[in-house]
A and B are shown apart, each in its own frame.
Chain A
Amino acid sequence: MGYLTIDSLTKKYGDLTAVKSINLKIKQGEMVALLGGSGCGKTTILRMIAGFIEPNAGTVSINGKVMNNIPAYKRNVGIFFQNYALFPHMTVIENVEFSLKLKKMKKAEIKEKVEYILGLVKLEGKGDSYPRQLSGGQQQRVALARALVMEPDVLLLDEPLSNLDSKLRQEMQVEIKRIQKKLKLTTIIVTHDQEEAVSLANRVVIMNEGEIEQIGEPGEVFNHPAHPFVAEFMGFSNFMEGKIVRKEGKEIQIEVAEGKVMNQSYDRADELAVGDAVVLTIRPEAVLISKTEEDGYAQGKIVNMTYKGHNTMVDILSSFNEKVQAINVDMVLPKEGESIYFAFPSDKVIIYKK
Chain B
Amino acid sequence: MAVCIAVIAKENYPLYIKSTPTENELKFHYTVHTSLDVVDEKISAMGKALVDQRELYLGLLYPTEDYKVYGYVTNSKVKFVMVVDSSNTALRDNEIRSMFRKLHNSYTDVICNPFYNPGDQIQSRAFDNMVTSMMVQVC
Real complex partners, A and B? no
